[in-house]
Amino acid sequence: MKTEILKPIRENIRRAGKLIRAGELVAFPTETVYGLGADGLNAMACRKIFAAKGRPSDNPLILHFSHLSKVEQAAKILPAAEKLFAAFCPGPLTIILPKTKFVPDDVTGGLSTVGVRFPDNDVARAFIKAADCPIAAPSANLSGRPSPTTPQAVYNDLRGKIEIILDGGACQFGVESTIVDVTCEVPEILRPGAITKEMLEEILGEVKVAPTITDKPRAPGMKYTHYAPKVPLTLIESSDDKIFRREIKNLRAENKIVGVMSSQELISKLDEEKIIPVTYGRRSDLKSIAANLYESLRNFDDLPAQIILAEGVEDFGLGVAIMNRLRKAATFILRD
């Protein structure tokens, strides 16, 4: 199958909608990352998503909507969700709700709940309207790889497996939506994103954070298979250039080609080191780091670095989402 990257003009959006109704897959942009979409009420179509990504079938998909009136068919709208819809939708938030019988078990991995999301992206909204059904979509990467934030990144992972990629340029936020479960007594964040705990608490009152996010993984030496670049990554939870210099020196003594992924602020202090530098943004602007994070990781696919040293950021606000992804991408974690 030939994979085409198409400009999101009306004719192409219409074609994408038709493909979805025919049970096929379409990759499309959102404000967070690119999604790999299928008709969310068509079990056969959704199974194709798992096959294309190499995704385990028990990892549930979320449903994307363009309009509130369409949600009722798929999910029970709890009062907390109504408040969140009013405050943050469309936007980078996924709300876990009880599902209806119309949502196939293939979408939810057999769970009784389903994730509901309203992407804040004109191309995504036009595409969902054209398809005229809830769009089930995970991030459009091969399972285990960094999420794609450009059409080219989708192409690199899924070339030959899907017919079209709608080109919406680079994604605005760059990390996936915040996931909040409102089916429990106290709402719980299952994945941190651009809608922060503090923002949710303003609307809902007390909000918990799932232990899987706050539990600092035991370091060093824990192995993860998420968001992983093709070479090992050591996350250094510090911005101290002395620590980076020490690690670079040790690795160079082993004849390793060292890549460093960090802020402009840190890179500028390492300009005498023999490294392959990739700047992921400015430390003073976490939004720039979130937006560039996955592309920075993917950059190393085409560079000769044999190991990546990555700079951590502070675990606060948007930094929680960035650190969550960096820890999952890391083979080793070094703390002060």
Task: Choose one: 39-47, 131-139, 273-281, 292-300; the region binding ligand TXA (CB under 6 A).
Answer: 131-139
Binding mask 302-331 for Mg ion (x = CB under 5 A): ------------------------------
CB-nearer residue toward Mg ion: 30 or 139: 139
Which candidate, 61, 110, 100, places its Cα nearest to that of 77?
100
Residue 131: CB minimum distance to ligand TXA, A: 15
The least CB distance from residue 33 to ligand TXA, in Å, is 5
What is the per-residue binding string for Mg ion in 139-158, x denoting contact by CB under 5 A? x-------------------
Q: Does 90 bind ligand TXA (CB under 6 A)?
A: no
Q: Which does 296 bind (CB under 5 to 8 A by kind): ligand TXA, Mg ion, none?
A: none
CB of 30 to ligand TXA, least distance (A): 5
Phi and psi at residue 116, in whole multiples of 5°?
Answer: -120, 130
In sequence order, the 6+-apart residues with CB closer than 8 A to the CB of 255 are none
Q: Which partner from the list Mg ion, ligand TXA, none does 114 bind, CB cut-off 5 to 8 Å by kind?
A: ligand TXA
Q: Does 139 bind ligand TXA (CB under 6 A)?
A: yes
Binding-site partner at residue 190 among Mg ion, ligand TXA, none, CB < 5 to 8 Å by type: ligand TXA
Segment near ligand TXA (CB under 6 A); pick from 110-118, 126-134, 221-229, 244-252: 110-118
DSSP string, 204-258: HS--EE-HHHHSPPPSSS----SS--SS-EEEES---HHHHHHHHHHHHHTT--E
Report the residue from 42, 177, 262, 324 that binds ligand TXA according to the rule CB under 6 A.
177
What does the alpha-carbon distance between residue 271 and residue 291 come to, in Å, rounded to a whole number? Answer: 24
Is the Cβ–Cβ distance between 278 and 260 less than 8 Å?
Answer: yes
Q: Are 178 and 289 in contact (CB under 8 A)?
A: no
Angstrom distance (rounded) from CA 22 to CA 238: 50
Task: Return the range that interacts with Mg ion (CB under 5 A); candidates 44-52, 105-113, 137-145, 297-305.
Answer: 137-145
Question: What 8-state DSSP symbol labels residue 329?
Answer: H
Q: Which is nearer to ligand TXA, 31 or 237 (CB)?
A: 31
Whether residue 302 contacts residue 226, with contact meaning beta carbons closer than 8 Å, is answered with: no
Q: Could you give the 3-state DSSP secondary structure of residue 124?
A: helix
Please report whether residue 62 would count as binding ligand TXA according to CB under 6 A: yes
The span of 25-33, 72-80, 197-205, 324-332 binding ligand TXA (CB under 6 A) equals: 25-33
Check if the beta carbon of residue 277 is closer than 8 Å to that of residue 327: no
Position closest to Mg ion via CB: 139
| Alpha-helical runs (H) found in the chain | 10-21, 43-53, 79-88, 105-108, 122-131, 151-158, 197-204, 211-214, 241-253, 264-267, 286-299, 318-329
Q: Please check whether residue 144 is in contact with residue 225, taking contact to mean a CB–CB distance below 8 angstroms.
A: yes
Residue 137 found at the interface with ligand TXA (CB under 6 A): yes
Residue 322 structure tokens: 């960035």
CA–centroid distance for 72 within its chain: 26
Min dist CB 182 to ligand TXA, Å, is 11
Residue 91's binding partner out of ligand TXA, Mg ion, none, with CB under 5 to 8 Å set by partner kind: none
Residues that bind ligand TXA (CB under 6 A): 30, 32-33, 35, 59-62, 94, 96, 108, 111, 113-115, 117, 119, 137-139, 176-177, 179, 190
Residues that bind Mg ion (CB under 5 A): 139
